[in-house]
Amino acid sequence: MTLKNGRGTTGRVMPSLTGRIVLVTGGARGIGRSVTETLSAAGAEVIIHFNTSRKEAMRLQSSLKSARKNHVVEANLSETGGIEKLAEEVAGITDSLDGLVNNAGIYAGPALEDTRFGEWDSVLNTNLRSQIFLIKMLAANLRKASGSVVNISSIMGVSASPGAYAYQASKSALVHLTRGLALELAPHVRVNCVAPGFIRTDINREGWKDVSFSRTVIESTPLRRWGETVDIAGTVRFLLSGDASFITGQTILVDGGKSLVG
């Protein structure tokens, strides 16, 4: 499932994750689903976290290469109890965690005058608080496996735009958090970050289905296309693999060059 110019496949062998156990939060839909499928295809045993997408999670589990070895866990990561529940269930599955992909997140895009307390708290709790506390609660498991963390940020975490301030704040904080955690958890655990650009997912279907907006995105992206979820999944797979064993504290922009031109 390696890509050739983001379109077809090549004969290159992707890094193997055989025998490794990886937790993917928000792993049933969108980017998370593609990450789950990619890691499973590379041989990993995946713990698929979901909040509301039960049907999608169960279908995904049954479709994976080694379905019997994968797990599905439900938890609301905007709540303290949900974070604790997920960490406890993961610890019950394994005491040695090879990978944690902090992908779960929500988006809200109001202008400043429409920003509300509850919405702000929900976005920050899901997109930022859950990440740091999951890493804290699973740190011993990750250290035992000499594991790796991949945080999913966004191009909006490195390039400012009007509106969506809670989302921008959470994603930019995640970039900085990655650097600090990489220092604290070294040398046993690597921590990196992936910042997607404009990716075609269900959550932003209105954007890429809008002909005018879609054309604007394409024309302002040097590689002249929207990203696909597999573009992100391939980068995550690389960062979790031994091929990235000397990489930590980095944020990789997977945006087709969009951040280069604003």
Map out the domains of the chain as residue ranges: 18-201+230-251
Model confidence pLDDT, tens digit, residues 24-62: 999 999 999 999 999 999 999 999 999 999 999 999 999
- Supply the pTM of this predicted model: 0.91
Question: Is residue 164 over pLDDT 80?
Answer: yes
Model confidence pLDDT, tens digit, residues 88-141: 999 999 999 999 999 999 888 889 888 899 999 999 999 999 999 999 999 999
Residue 196 β-bridge partners: 254
Per annotation, catalytic residue among 167, 198, 226, 238: 167
In this structure, which topology does domain 18-201+230-251 adopt according to CATH? Answer: Rossmann fold (3.40.50)
For residue 68, name the pLDDT band (cuts at 50, 70, 90).
low
107 is catalytic: no
Question: Is residue 7 over pLDDT 50?
Answer: no
Question: Is residue 2 over pLDDT 90?
Answer: no
